[in-house]
Structure 1
Amino acid sequence: MEEKKTIIKAKVLYDGKTKHEDVYVIVQGNTILNISKQKMQADYEGYVTPAFIDAHSHIGMDREGEPSQESETNDVLDQFNPTNNPINSIYFDDRAFKDAVDFGVLYSCVVPGSGNLIGGRAKVIRNFAKNRNEAELKDYGFKMALGFNPRSTTEWKGKRPNTRMGIYALLEKKLDDVILKRDKQKVAKQKKLNSLEKKLKDKKINKTEYKEEKELIEREYDYQFDSDEKALLEILSGEKVVKVHVHKEDDVHYLIYLVKKYNLNVTADHTGDVWNKKIFDQLAENNIPIVYGPLGSVGYKVELKHAYYQNAKLLMESKAFYGLMTDHPVIHTIALRDSLKFFLIQGMKPEEAISLITYKNAHILGLQEPLGSIEAGKVASLVVWNQDPLNLGAFPVLVMAEGEVLRS
């Protein structure tokens, strides 16, 4: 039996890339079946966008209505906590999740805080999940922090330098030590494999014995590394993306140095105090996307003294590929859409603005195939608004997540 189709008439469709008028979005099951100009009886009508994606958040870790001592964004145990999983510190009864869904922000990339050099893993979650078992969409990568924050936590446990030269030396030593250990173990493994090859060639062992011994050598190599070291090797291999907290221009230069030295795969998260277009261009030239923001927050530290809202224009004029964040609770998840005004007042087209929190954020998070745009074959996560979503009073009349109507 064919699944029922849901027909949505879009007065205006912001599809995540461009803008269309008077089209119909046809959904079947959890998939967008087609976009059509042909008139048909609609189940819903309004202004349509893809579901919004928050590319950097602490939602569920810093929770509504709880005192600050209940926060679980940072662990004080050590400067290096690469195996920490932020989902283990989320309570999904945080009312911020319901608010996020009400305003169409259906996905967040959650990360630990920036009090440690490496705070833990980065996970993309469903904000509409009932609990942790339903939440994880993608194991995205890791969280790293540069600048003031990791040098400000001198009262926490572990080695805690109070200067950037100190924390950066500590970071490089950690990475260099893991590289040295890996290289030594590779040499030892290769020697054993060479000896094994010789045994086979000299017919001292048969092919079955060769295969068994080779498997043991590989396992023995793997056993040399603990879970933290394996996580750091993931970072060094470029397999996973490292979301790097960075604000000031000199720390951006240091990030570019790290990328070149260790061949890291990173995004530059925040860049709030970058006030020269050339810096944004240099990030682009080094293939480093930017997760920009949060916009509209208080510049509560010296590190943000140049965090002007006008910097959005410099970013727009640069070569950088960028999306937006809320850094919830720095600004609330529901303020993600509000952040677009800083680009609109600088002349950005509405469809380009919507793209920042849909397609571009999806692309940065490696989710551009299933999410981020309204196209045939994509996952049916979308929002129907009562008026243009860039109007102050716009509110969803339908929120659909992976084909399920969450509210209407």
Structure 2
Amino acid sequence: MNIAITRGYVVPVDGEPIQNGTVLIQDGKIVAVGADVAVPEGVDVVDAAGGWVLPGFVEAHGHLGVHEEAEGWAGQDTNEMTDPNGARLRALDAINPADLGFTDALSGGVTTAVIKPGSGNPIGGQTVAVKCWGRTVEEMLLKEPVSVKSALGENPKRVYGDQKKLPSTRQGVAAVIRDAFRKAQDYKDKIARGDQVDRDGTLEILVKVLDGELPWCQHTHRADDIATALRLADEFGYKVIINHGTEGHLLADILAERQIPVIIGPLFTTRSKVELRQRSLRNPGILARAGVELAITTDHPVIPIHFLVHQATLAVKEGLDRDEALRTITVNPARIMGLDDRVGALKPGLDGDVVIWSGDPLDVMSRALRVFVDGREVYTFNDATGEGDVADPYYRE
């Protein structure tokens, strides 16, 4: 798809804003961004005069398509709560591209989402990054697997405690994770020695974590659980990413010193359980000021995904730097999840995922007017109806 988005206030995120700027996209990739970009003949010109032009937002932790909206149990495929170690499970295999949440994502300027299994298991499974428009997961696919999801704290101990089986305590949850990695170490050693082993999808994935090929996305809220996450990471030498991090601000200096990124949120929820007692919109600012690399998440559908930008706005109100707020939903989550070679900013070489806003997206009155994925317009706000029109992925020119 070849288009030139012209005359807008271009916010590349990783560079200075450009008045009356142009973003040139050819064959689905950004090839030029600037104030004096030459537009080749035959390229479709999109006039963004009066609007703000930004990269599509990146949701670093959500459950689009695996926890479908308005579907009840039929669309609930988030947690396989029959095995505490689900490393072999893939979120990719449960995604329904027809989930209403994908349309909501586009309406909120979100073009990329990292979709993760839930937090019912100590080890939930493999995560996947997709674009928010397409007929099949294969057409939407950005990267797979992206990481492995794990959970500490209340959720796994509640799930298995109700079943009267291991793990029903925080001790048990940590033990399940530790036992799994010890088995993976043994499996890796046997292969290195040339021993005959039966293939094991669970252990193969955990070996990739041990080898640094896949980061460990650790669901954790309380400070003591965050400390356990760091303890386990030290013991086995894997890269950990703190997900949720509700009390991360209490350990902000430790996280910053160790360069542990935090995907914080959701931030609009009630304090519905003990480990959320310190949930606050002030916490992102505290973490960012301490030097922690930060992304903000909706944990969709916990918070509707199109409210991602509103969480950033209210975090600014409570002390988060404005420019950093935009980075928490663009370049930061892309970098944290290893996607920054494709998405998260407006610069040559990245995918043509661009959103034209009516104004500053951090103004709650602004709306996404036109959304492009790989240079294709997939969402258009219709002034006549007051609703957004989504391009039908099943019928294309």
Q: Is the 8 A contact 2:183 2:203 kept in 1?
A: no
2:18 maps to 20
Judge which range, 388-397 or 348-357, deviates more. 348-357
**Equivalents in 2 of 1:99, 1:269: separation in Å?**
22
Q: In 2 relative to 1, CA 349–40 (structure 1 residues): closer, same or farther, beyond 3 Å?
A: farther
TM-score, L = length of structure 1? 0.85
Give the whole-Å Cα distance in 1 for the aligned partners of 2:133 and 2:90. Answer: 19
**In 1: Cα distance, 2:37 partner to 2:129 partner:** 37
In the alignment, the residues of structure 2 paired with residue 40 and residue 398 of structure 1 have an alpha-carbon distance, to the nearest angstrom, of: 22
Letter in 2 for 1:59: L
What 5-or-longer segments of structure 2 have no aligned partner? 40-44, 381-397
On the 8 A contact 2:221/2:246 being kept in 1, the answer is yes
SS at match of 1:389: coil
Q: 2:173 aligns with which of 167, 174, 180?
A: 167
Give the structure 1 partner of residue 309 of structure 2.
337
Once residues 137 and 292 of structure 2 are traced to their aligned partners in structure 1, the CA distance between those partners, rounded to angstroms, is 34
| Structure showing the higher helix proportion among its residues | 1
Which residue of 77, 98, 103 corresponds with 1:93? 98
What is the root-mean-square deviation in Å for CA atoms of aligned residues?
A: 2.2
Residue pair 2:21, 2:34 contacting (<8 A) in 1 also: yes
8 A Cα contact 1:63 1:96, kept in partner: yes
Q: Is the 8 A contact 1:86 1:121 kept in 2?
A: yes
What are the equivalent positions in structure 2 for 1:189-204 lying under 5 Å apart? 189=194
* Secondary structure at 2:143 match in 1: strand
Q: Which residue identity lines up with residue 93 of structure 2 in the other structure? A: N
In the TM superposition, what are the counterparts of 1:6-405 in structure 2 within 5 Å? 6-38=4-36, 43-45=46-48, 46-68=51-73, 70-139=75-144, 140-154=146-160, 159-184=165-190, 186-187=192-193, 189=194, 221=196, 223-276=197-250, 279-405=251-377
Q: Give, as a single letter, the amino acid of the residue that structure 2 aligns with 1:10.
A: G
- After superposition, give the CA deviation of every residue in 1:53-74 in whole Å (9 maximum; x if it has no partner): 1000011111111225641110
Identity, % of aligned positions: 27
Between 178-187 and 393-402, report the one with greater CA deviation: 178-187
SS class of match (2:219): strand
Seen in structure 2, the aligned counterparts of structure 1 residues 179 and 11 have a Cα distance that, compared at 3 Å, is closer
Per-residue CA deviations over 1:158-181 (Å, capped at 9, x if unaligned) read 942211012212321222233234
What TM-score, normalized to structure 2?
Answer: 0.87
CA displacement 1:92-150 (0-9 Å, x = unmatched): 11111111112211111011110101111010011112222312211102101111111
Higher mean displacement: 233-242 or 281-290: 281-290
> 1: CA distance between counterparts of 2:118 and 2:350?
32
**How far does the alpha carbon of each residue in 1:208-232 deviate from its partner, in whole angstroms, 9 at most, with x for none?**
xxxxxxxxxxxx64x4441211122
Deviation at 1:344, TM superposition (A): 1.3
Quick one: structure 1 residues 125 and 331, their matched pair in 2 at CA, closer, same or farther if it must change by over 3 Å?
A: same
Q: Secondary structure at the match of 1:336?
A: helix
In structure 1, runs of 5+ residues without a counterpart are 190-219
In the alignment of these two chains, the number of paired residues is: 372
* Conservation of the 8 A alpha-carbon contact between 1:77 and 1:157: no
Q: Partners in 1 of 2:330 and 2:242 — Cα distance?
A: 18
CA distance in 2, matches of 1:182, 1:15: 42
Letter in 1 for 2:247: D
Matches of 1:318 and 1:232 in 2, distance apart?
32
SS in 2 for 1:299: coil
CA distance in structure 1 between the partners assigned to 2:242 and 2:160 by the alignment: 24
Which amino acid is the alignment partner of residue 72 of structure 2? P
Structure 1 contact 5–26 (Cα < 8 Å) conserved: yes
Q: CA deviation at 1:185?
A: 5.1
Distance 2:114 2:164 in 1: 27
State the 1:243 CA deviation. Answer: 0.7
In structure 2, relative to structure 1, the CA distance for the partners of 1:127 and 1:224 (3 Å cut) is same
Distance 2:84 2:188 in 1: 21
In the TM superposition, residue 83 of structure 1 has moved relative to its aligned partner by 1.1
Partners of 2:324 and 2:272 in 1: CA distance: 30
Q: CA deviation at 1:397?
A: 2.1
Which stretches of structure 1, 4 residues or longer, exceed 4 Å deviation after superposition? 39-42, 155-159
Pair 1:229–1:22, CA change in 2 (3 A): same
SS state at 2:177 partner = helix
Query: Is the 8 Å Cα contact of residues 370 and 377 (structure 2) preserved in structure 1?
Result: yes
- Relative to structure 1, the CA distance from residue 381 to residue 12 in structure 2 (aligned partners, 3 Å threshold; closer, same or farther) is closer
Q: Note the C-alpha offset of 1:287.
A: 2.8
From the superposition, tell whether residues 100 and 244 of structure 1 become closer, same or farther in structure 2 (CA, over 3 Å): same
Paired AA for residue 370 in structure 2: L
Task: For 1:36, give the aligned amino acid.
Answer: G
